[in-house]
Amino acid sequence: MVRSGFRSIAIVVVVFAAAMAYLESTVVVYLHRALGIAPDALFPLRDPRAVADLATIEVGRELATLVMLAAIGWIAGRSAPERLAWAAVAFGTWDVGYYGWLLVISGWPSSLETWDLLFLFPVPWVGPVWAPLTVSVALIGFGLAAARRYRAGGTIPIGPRRAAAGAAGGALVIASFTLDTGRIMGGGVPTSFPWPIFAAGMLVAIAAAVSALWQPSGSISR
């Protein structure tokens, strides 16, 4: 029964996130066409004064997206940790689906090395497509593994050390996306991605997740 329940919830979360990704990708296509922006010509960024209040609307759309992904995680889970796990699955599926649908609809991105504007809030995040996809695949994998254990009634001994390591890894990943923010906001074009910082962040975060999931339920947290 537990396994069946987990499978049903996983299907619902993934289908919801994939459908949401389609909706998100179509909105982006409409926006690009309305503004006359070619998908492969995102940089340099448009002057905010040239797009009026659309920049503010776009930030609002991003925040609304995060709220909806968090909401599906909240509905799917029965405890705070399980809800977080399902939200991670939803986010990862949405992100992978977003690029997949864009490729089907518009032929963009042309490769995994294509640069993208990931978020605008609170500052522009930029990176090659392979970087956010890497994060999303990790979120799906570890999110499903964690949600399955929680759904079975188990626990994951995270503890302060693993939590700190996970937070530090996440901070490094975010830093890799935002280090070039000043130049990008000044009209610059992204040319190089600080992949060593990104890789270090991913390795630290993954090591913390693997260490926690490797421990059986009820182990002493560290």
**180-219: per-residue pLDDT in tens?**
888 888 888 888 999 999 999 999 999 999 999 988 765 5
CA–CA gap between residue 62 and residue 152 (Å, rounded) = 33
Q: Which helix (H) or strand (E) holds 67?
A: helix 54-76
Mean pLDDT of 77-81: 94
Q: pLDDT at position 220, please?
A: 46
pTM of the model: 0.89
| Tens digit of each residue's pLDDT (9 = 90 or more) over 114-140 | 999 998 888 889 999 999 999 999 999
Say if residue 20's pLDDT is above 50: yes
CA–CA gap between residue 194 and residue 6 (Å, rounded) = 38
Q: Distance from CA of residue 1 to its chain's centroid?
A: 31
CA–CA gap between residue 26 and residue 24 (Å, rounded) = 6
Q: Is 23 left (phi over 0), alpha (psi -120 to 50) or beta?
A: alpha
Say if residue 149's pLDDT is above 70: yes
Q: pLDDT at position 139, please?
A: 97
CA–CA gap between residue 20 and residue 94 (Å, rounded) = 7
Query: Where do the structural domains in the chain lie, given as residue ranges?
Result: 2-154
- The answer to whether 102 and 116 are in contact (CB under 8 A) is no
Alpha-carbon Rg for the chain, nearest whole angstrom, is 18
Strand partners, 125: 119
Instruction: Name the residue with tokens 């979360």.
Output: 13
Q: What are phi and psi of 116, to 5 degrees?
A: -140, 155
Q: pLDDT at position 128, please?
A: 96
CA–CA gap between residue 99 and residue 106 (Å, rounded) = 10
Higher confidence at residue 188 or residue 169? 169
| Tens digit of each residue's pLDDT (9 = 90 or more) over 86-100 | 999 999 999 999 999
Burial of 32 (0-12, 13-18, 19+ CB in 10 A): middle
Confidence tier at 1 by pLDDT (50, 70, 90): very low
Q: Which two tokens stand for residue 130?
A: 């392979």
Q: Which helix (H) or strand (E) holds 148?
A: helix 130-151
CA–CA gap between residue 211 and residue 48 (Å, rounded) = 45
3-state secondary structure of 213: helix
Q: Which segment of 20-24, 28-32, 173-177 scores lowest on mean pLDDT?
A: 28-32
Mean pLDDT of 157-169: 94
